[in-house]
Every structure is written in C-alpha cells, then in structure tokens.
Chain A
Amino acid sequence: MDGVFLLFVAIFTAYLGTMATRMKLKLKTVFVLYFTVSLMGLVYALMQLGQRCDCTEHDMAKDRAISRLRDELHRLQAQIRQLEEAKPPQKQPSKSSLPTIFVITPTYARLVQKAELTRLSHTFLHVPQLHWIVVEDSPQKTPLVTDLLMKSGLTYTHLHVPTAKERKLQEGDPSWLKPRGVEQRNEGLRWLREDRRDGQQGVVYFADDDNTYSLQIFEEMRNTQRVSVWPVGLVGAMKFESPVVEGGKVVRFHTGWRPNRPFPMDMAGFAVSLKLVLTNPEACFDGEAPMGFLESSFLKGLVTMDELEPKADNCTKVLVWHTRTEKPKMKREEALQAQGLGSDPAVEASPERKVQQRRDDNR
C-alpha cells in the first residue's frame, strides 16, 4: 500500500514538474500544487506512525524478527502469570503486607566498592519487600554509589555521614584496631526513626557490603518479633559462630573469642524488629565500646538473652558468611601513576583515587 501510493505521488509530481517547466505556469500555482501534494503525503505518513506496523506485508527480515520476539515476549509473560497462579497458596500474607526488611549497609570508597555493591544488589533483588539503606562514609554522596543505586532496580535510601577523623583507620592500621561503620549505622537508625510511621511492620538488619548472604536468611528474619539470631560462617577465626539453643531458647553462645561478652556475635548474625528500634530511640552503636563489643552496645538496651528468637533451624544452619575481599594489588598501577601513565580515571572500575589521597582514606 505504502509503496504504491508513493510511486503514484512520485509520478504525479514528476509529470506536473515537466508540465510546469514546459508550459511556464505561474510559479504561485506550482507552489500551491506541491504544497498540497506534500501535505497529503505528510498526513498519510503521520497517520502511519500511530498504527501498528504491518509486518506480514513487508517481508523484511527485521520485521519478522520483531514479530517473533514479540510473540516470544508474550509467551514468557503468559508463562510467568501461569507460574504465579500455580504457586500454592502462600502461608504468608500477600506481598503488600509482608513485613519490610530494612537493610542498613555502611560503605566506603575503595577499589572493590563498586564490585561489592553490585553483587550485593544482585542478591537483594531476589528478596521481596526489601528496602536498602546505603550509608556512605563520605562528606557527600558519591556519583558512583548514586548511579549504582539508581540502576539497581531496588527500593533504596541513600545517606551519607563521614567518620570522625580520630575514629578513622589510617594506612597501615590493622582492620580490627578501630570499629568501623559506627556513625553510618547510627545514621541509618536515625533515618528510620524520623521517617517511619508507627505501626509499620518491619525488620532491621545490618549487612556489611563484603559479606555473603543466602536468600533464605531474609525469609528467616522477616517475622522477627524482637531480636532474632542465627549462626554466621567464617567469623571469629572459626568456621562459624553460633548461638546455642536448648528447648527453643538461646542459652549461651558458641564462639572462640571472648564468650563473656553480653552478645558475642557478629553484626550479620541478628536482626531487630522495627518496632523495637522505634520504641527505643536511644539505642545505637557505641563507637567507644571496646573491640568486639559493638553489637552488644546496641543490643543490651533492647533485649535479654532469653528473649532472643533463634532462627535457621534452631541455629544449626549457616545462611550467612562473613567473607572479606582481598585488596587488589596495585603495584603496577602505582608505578604507572608515578610516571603519569595511570589507567584512564574516566573509566569507572572503582572510585577514583589519587596516590596521595589514598593514604588518608585507606583502611
């Protein structure tokens, strides 16, 4: 249809053109004539834009591929809907009334930051009703994290608070010298307290950006009433640390280091119900607490040991691991930078760091 019409227009135009030149018509007439013709053509083409592409007539390979892909898409969509309907009736309430899991992640700029946050976001994408609160250790929001969060597809809150200078680890300091992420976690708690409507069901979990989380742990923690606990793998210089459960209650903790702490467990080993956080506005992490007492400084005002809810099959399964990522070796990069030939900093693999700046920010 298209082709025929255009051919007709072309022939007509050409004919009129030859006539015009031969007959020396008035220019104004020619102008009006062509104006009408082009207007008609334009209107027709514009009408085409609003309608479905008639693929079967064109026999273009692209059009065929598109209609094939479109059918494929519809089939997949239908399949998804079918799978959803076929799912057994949920024991839990429907999605909108699932308690929200608020995950507070302190993060700081270093080479592997983008990689860590990327793979963390892949895990979180599988968890329904998850709200990611990312708190940067920085005086302002960095574009790297802003961008990553925007593209992640997650529900998130982006906060930032710089760590006080005296609390920051210096170059060469071992990682256990000063507690990390204190101000950032407290900032996350502060935001929760100022923003949450009372009565909203939720759980608060502190997830560091280099740990590894299985998907089951989030379902375990979702129905926390006060504080729930579970084992954490690869922490405390052991294969795993864990609360010891007898008769459905936590009676002591299995840990290799200072078991006499009030709550000798790792940040990744517990979750607190939102209600408890909101009704105890003073509870936060104490940066002055001695090494290893950070978790206890937060929990001791909230709950006692016998009120703890054991999860993960009465604390017999490891569903979260305290992995740590190696610092990448940058010997050659540093050598090149000294010559002024470093890798293109415009390419974002990691936060841009100048050699001298790195000394201050290194941990």
Chain B
Amino acid sequence: MPKRRDILAIVLIVLPWTLLITVWHQSAIAPLLAIRKDEGAEGKREAGGQDSKEYCASDKDIVEVVRTEYVYTRPPPWSDVLPTIHIITPTYSRPVQKAELTRLANTFLHVPNLHWILVEDSQRRTPLVTRLLRETGLNYTHLNVETPRNYKLRGDTRDPRIPRGTMQRNLALRWLRETFNPNSSQAGIVYFADDDNTYSLELFEEMRSTRKVSVWPVAFVGGLRYESPKVNAAGKVYGWKTVFDPHRPFAIDMAGFAINLRLILFKPQAYFKLRGVKGGYQESSLLRELVTLNDLEPKAANCTKILVWHTRTEKPVLVNEGKKGFTDPNVEI
C-alpha cells in the first residue's frame, strides 16, 4: 500500500540522520569527559611514582602524564586556574604539637594551591612553629592570638569557657577579610582543619568545587563510627544523621564542611560565637549566618564516603621526666 510505503520511506530518512547526530554528539563529548578525568588522575599520579601512562583516545596531547624525576618535599607548583584552599588550623603548645604539625604538613604537601593559615594560641609566635612552617616549604600565614587564661580554665555557667580554637579561627577569618577583596576574582575555599585529624587527599579535591558551603561525613565524631548529613534523592541536604542532638541547625563537625571564600567576604559579620555557645553548637553559630540548609552542597558521593577522620592523639605519659625533667630541655620535640 502506498501509505505504508510512505511511512517506511520516512523511517528510512530519519534513521541515518539520528545515527549521524548520535555519533557526532559522542565524538564531541568524549574528549571533554576524558580530559576531566585525566585532570583528576594527574595530581595523584604525580605523587605516585611508578605508574604507566594512561591513554585518552581522542586527545593525545594531554596524555603525556609527567613521570620525570619526582619532586618531593616540595608542594606542587601553583596553578592560576585552581581555586586556592585556605586551611585554618588553630594550634597550641603541647608535647605532641610538633609531631601533629609535621604529619599534617606531609599531607598538605600533596595538595596543589593550598594556603595554610596556622594560628597559635600563644602570646607570641613560637620559634618551633616558625621554623617548622619555614622548613616545610608550604605557602603559609602564621598568626597568633592568646585565649585569655580564665576563659580556658573555668567551665561554670556564670563564665562559660570559650570552646578551644574559637578565637584563633575568628582571627584567621578576620585576616582573610582584611587581605582579600570581595570584588576580586580570586577563587578560594575556606576549611577548618584541626591539627590532630586525618585528611585524605581526595577530600581537598572534593571541596575545591564548593560554591557556597559544602558538607560531607566525618568519622569518629558524636560517639559514632561517623556522622553524616542526610541527603535526599534530589541531592539536597534535609537533615543530619547523628545521635547527639540532631536538631541543631547544623549538626556537623568542624571538619565536615568548607565555605567558599566569597561568602566569607560578602558576610563580614559572620564569626564563630565566643560565649554562650552550647557544646556542639559552635559550627552552627557560624554557618547559620552564612547559609541555609537548602544551599548546602553534599560531597563525597552524596555523603556516602568517608574522607576525613576525627582522630585524637593520646596524651603521652611523661611520668619518667619527674619534677625537674630528665631529658635535655634544649632538644626540641
């Protein structure tokens, strides 16, 4: 029948056309995807040492992964394209301080475009930290502010303690606001990293794409294996999977979120609350001035992977030092 033949003819017209479009589309998208994957794999391969080259069929150019002499004990070269990660670490003098900062630096040395803002809880910048920072070769800023003694020690309700590290973190935020112009195009991410936690390298790459505030799970907090934001099917955070007070505005640990620098600069009044903050509400005191639950960006595969562990280092037993000290006090530990 002529009608059926017409239909058949039309089908035969459309078929090669769709085939053509599909093939053309794929050939245009594939090099884009492969390049992005290569960029991510690049950084790690630099750090590795023995890997063979990976091949991207469409673009032989980007493929030559550099496998020349490995540059160690030096941070990766600065890139003008990657957003800078500003890491704010409060620290204070105690026997394990140098060890903690050393292994933290060893991790940071693998992260490109990292700016370490180390804030000491001390009257003056100590030579130990000054020397350590200089020797690492990292890009750093060394600040200090001393938490007043009475606030550190007293814990009663009349004069509640300032949570540890608060003044130091606030000083770093103030430094950022004084140093960076909100109108400049310098992309940056702010992350609060305590000196005894453990960070995977993947975490830093996850947070680099933060637009406002991004969140992810943290291990060993709240008396659980891990605490995590609750993410719905649409990829939005709607709650907190914690046992300890899940109804906090932001039931998340300091290590579980990162903020875009622009947000910090545009809201210059946002700081951590110093006094009158209940245990566990410190993070909320800052975040509620910056963002709402709806704006949070879940990372780490929709908050299903653990990329940071809230480890704590044991206080070393120094019983054998005795009252007068047994070891040479001039040796720095």
In the complex, what distance in Å separates the CA atom of A35 from the CA atom of B70?
54
Of the listed stretches B166-174, B215-223, B256-264, B289-297, name the one at the interface; the rest are far from the partner chain: B215-223
User: Smallest CB–CB gap between B157 and chain A, Å?
Assistant: 25
Q: Does A177 contact B (CB under 8 A)?
A: no
- B8-43 near A? 1/0 per residue, CB < 8 Å: 111011011101110110011011100100010010
| With A69-B35, A153-B45, A237-B319: A126-B217 Cβ-Cβ less than 8 Å | no
On chain A, the residues within 8 Å of B305 by CB distance are 347-348
On chain A, the residues within 8 Å of B317 by CB distance are 237
From residue 309 to 332 of chain B, which have CB atoms closer than 8 A to chain A?
309-314, 316-321, 325-327, 331-332
Q: Is B198 a contact of A119 with CB atoms below 8 Å?
A: yes
Scoring B68, B71, B317, B333 by chain A CB atoms within 10 A of each residue's CB, the highest score goes to B333
User: Smallest CB–CB gap between B62 and chain A, Å?
Assistant: 5
Choice from A9, A128, A233, A325 contacting B72 with Cβ under 8 Å: A128
Q: Is B220 a contact of A328 with CB atoms below 8 Å?
A: yes
Q: Is A21 a contact of B9 with CB atoms below 8 Å?
A: yes
User: Smallest CB–CB gap between A113 and chain B, Å?
Assistant: 10
Choice from A42, A68, A238 contacting B320 with Cβ under 8 Å: A238
In the complex, what distance in Å separates the CA atom of A321 from the CA atom of B243?
35
| With A84-B69, A125-B47: A76-B79 Cβ-Cβ less than 8 Å | yes
Q: Does A127 contact B (CB under 8 A)?
A: yes
User: Smallest CB–CB gap between B112 and chain A, Å?
Assistant: 9
Summed over the interface, the residue pairs from A and B with CB atoms below 8 Å come to a total of 279
On chain A, the residues within 8 Å of B28 by CB distance are 53
Q: Is B77 a contact of A112 with CB atoms below 8 Å?
A: no
In the complex, what distance in Å separates the CA atom of A30 from the CA atom of B6?
11
Q: Is B95 a contact of A239 with CB atoms below 8 Å?
A: yes
On chain A, the residues within 8 Å of B321 by CB distance are 237-239, 256
| With A30-B9, A46-B23, A112-B220: A73-B15 Cβ-Cβ less than 8 Å | no
Q: Is B61 a contact of A52 with CB atoms below 8 Å?
A: yes
User: Smallest CB–CB gap between A343 and chain B, Å?
Assistant: 4
Q: Does A257 contact B (CB under 8 A)?
A: yes
Interface size on B, as a range, is 35 or more
User: Smallest CB–CB gap between A256 and chain B, Å?
Assistant: 3
On chain B, the residues within 8 Å of A37 by CB distance are 16
User: Smallest CB–CB gap between B216 and chain A, Å?
Assistant: 12
Q: Does B178 contact A (CB under 8 A)?
A: no
Report the count of interface residues on A (CB-CB < 8 A). Answer: 98
Of the listed stretches A11-19, A159-167, A186-194, name the one at the interface; the rest are far from the partner chain: A11-19
Give the nearest-CB partner of B132 in chain A.
A214
- A232-267 near B? 1/0 per residue, CB < 8 Å: 011011111010000000000010110000000000
| With A80-B68, A234-B95: A69-B20 Cβ-Cβ less than 8 Å | no
7 closest pairs, A vs B, by CB?
A38-B16, A153-B48, A256-B320, A332-B223, A115-B309, A321-B99, A17-B13
Beyond the given pairs A50-B58, A128-B72, A323-B314, 6 more chain A to chain B contacts, judged by CB atoms under 8 angstroms and listed by A's residue number, are A31-B12, A212-B99, A213-B103, A234-B99, A317-B331, A342-B225
- 26 of the cross-chain contacts (CB-CB < 8 Å) are A6-B21, A16-B13, A24-B5, A30-B9, A35-B16, A38-B15, A41-B19, A41-B23, A52-B59, A53-B28, A53-B59, A70-B35, A118-B309, A119-B198, A214-B102, A215-B73, A233-B95, A234-B96, A239-B318, A257-B320, A321-B96, A324-B313, A328-B219, A347-B305, A348-B305, A349-B225
B residues neighboring A (CB under 8 Å) = 2, 5-6, 8-10, 12-13, 15-17, 19-21, 23-24, 27-28, 30-32, 35, 39, 42, 44-45, 47-51, 57-59, 61-62, 64, 66, 68-74, 76-77, 79-81, 95-96, 98-100, 102-103, 106-107, 109-110, 198-201, 217, 219-220, 222-226, 228, 241, 243-244, 304-306, 309-314, 316-321, 325-327, 331-333
